Chains A and B, each alone.
Chain A
Amino acid sequence: MFFIESNLRKWLKYAFMMLIIFFSILLIIEVYNKYRTYHSFQLQQQYYETQYNSYIQRVDQQRKEIKEFFEFLIDNNLYLIEFDYSYSSGIKAKVSTFLDPTEKIVSKYEILEISKFKMNEEYYVILQINQ
């Protein structure tokens, strides 16, 4: 009886050892898979976050440029005739105003005179402005 019991115990012990090793390996693989999924999600989130931040920055920069142009119109008393903005090619506008004969508008924009004629003491001018 003692031998049979001892033998059975031995086999049971081996069986448990095998199961322990087998499930330990499975556990390690499972933990690694979970970690990989979590890590790649984190990386993806970071990537989206960077994209989001750069998008918001581009939006802010764009609004700043457009507002700056409208402030330029206000500061120089320019009437807006046509305003055409596209993200790729920037601002193109047609404006008009009254200028003294010696007056010149200086700005960072490219200004071309389309038409000009005298109105009493001033000149009425139509300008093409490009960014």
Chain B
Amino acid sequence: MAIVDTAPAQREKADTRLIVKDLGKTYVTGKDAHEIFRGVELDVEPGSIVSVVGPSGVGKTTLLRCLAGLLPATTGTISVGGRMVTGPVPEMGVVFQDYSRSLLPWMHSRENVALPLESKGVRKAERNRIAEEALAAVGLEGAGHKYPWQMSGGMQQRVAIARAIAYQADILLMDEPFASVDAQTRFDLEDLALDLRRRLGVSIVLVTHDIDEAVYLADQVVVLSGKPASVVDLVEVDLGTERDQLTTKSLPAFTEARSRVLRQIRR
């Protein structure tokens, strides 16, 4: 059950394809109906990274919360590995934007990472082993005894990511995960996300307002815009799986994709 041994090929066989069809969300309060987004279609193949990008307030977080099962969608369906899902599922691990508020301050980081496993019924020794491996996978080996408030923002977010990995999630849902850290740390965490995909074969759906980040990480960029929001463009990003902050960002393909996304958002 060692997570670092799971090769990408094995994950594909497990078929954790996330398919979203005609997803819409409307808030109804009394007689007022407030439509947030409509007709969203996604196809996230196992081991791929999809970025969801759009202007502030368009509904990206609402969409992610619907995918995570935290919010019921008004229309449409979500399926994971061919099974319809209507709530949180063990295949999906969520990484929230505000790491300091989702990590529990009375537990040190290893306990935080192991906690969802306790809910799954995993025994203590096994839980701790998996938690230690997850922490090592995000570069926090040996930091398990530290409390969240003893760690920097970047480290805390790594703990949150480790928690999603330890949960044995095949799909990571990330809500602007790197927005609250400084630029340098953001680059490190972006590369961590790519690294996790490469080593563990997880798929990632990443909501972000940072267009550079969206293009750098993704195989597919989903552009959300309008009021009510809808998918105005789906940009395939063909930069391979081996990416680098320096070289990738100076490739013409990168600039092209970036300009295209920016143009769509600004329309």
The finding on whether chains A and B are genuine partners in a shared complex, rather than unrelated, reads no
